[in-house]
Amino acid sequence: MTKEQIIVALKDAAKPYESYYIDDETGQAMMQLPNPFELVEPILDIIGTNPTVDFGMPGELVRFVESFYKKGYEELLIASVKKNPTEHNIWMVHRCFNDINNPMREKFKALIEELKEDSSVSEEVKNAIDDFNW
């Protein structure tokens, strides 16, 4: 599968109000890409634009993107959350924030404060923010 075919398959797997599942062919193709990091941004976009999908805790997509932790993932996560904050990606930010040795910890905190003050952010997302200790 090409990168584009993988992204289409990942998008097609996002079904509102259902659990997210990646078929074996797509999962294997993801790992066989020469540069699998190229999938991180599209995956974060899928998570950000599908707030009613149950991606799991953490789920296959989160496990995949977190394999790039401290390798560029955090910057892409912040950009994605700024664009489309959801309950799930707030939880993802909190997972990063919990690492007291993460050099971006203050950026995560600043992002959360920004979202809490933003009148366009839904009450559901703000409630998700309040569920965590920042």
Q: What is the pLDDT, as a whole number, of residue 62?
A: 96
Global pTM reads 0.93
Query: What was the pLDDT predicted at 10?
Result: 98
Closest alpha carbon to 63 in 51, 54, 55: 55
| Secondary structure (DSSP) of 40-87 | HHHHHHHHHT-TTSB--SSHHHHHHHHTTTTTTHHHHHHHHHHHS--H
Peptide bond into 58 cis (omega under 30): yes
Reported as a single tens digit per residue, the pLDDT across 67-104 is 999 999 999 999 999 999 999 999 999 999 999 999 99
The reported pLDDT for the residue numbered 84 is 97
What is the count of structural domains for the chain? 1
pLDDT in tens, 27-44: 999 999 999 999 999 999
38, 3 Cβ separation under 8 angstroms: yes
Dump pLDDT digits (tens) for 103-119. 999 999 999 999 999 99
Domain boundaries, position 48: 3-130
19 forms bridges with which residues in the sheet?
54
User: If you average pLDDT over residues 56-76, what whole number do you get?
Assistant: 96
**Whole-number pLDDT of residue 51:** 96
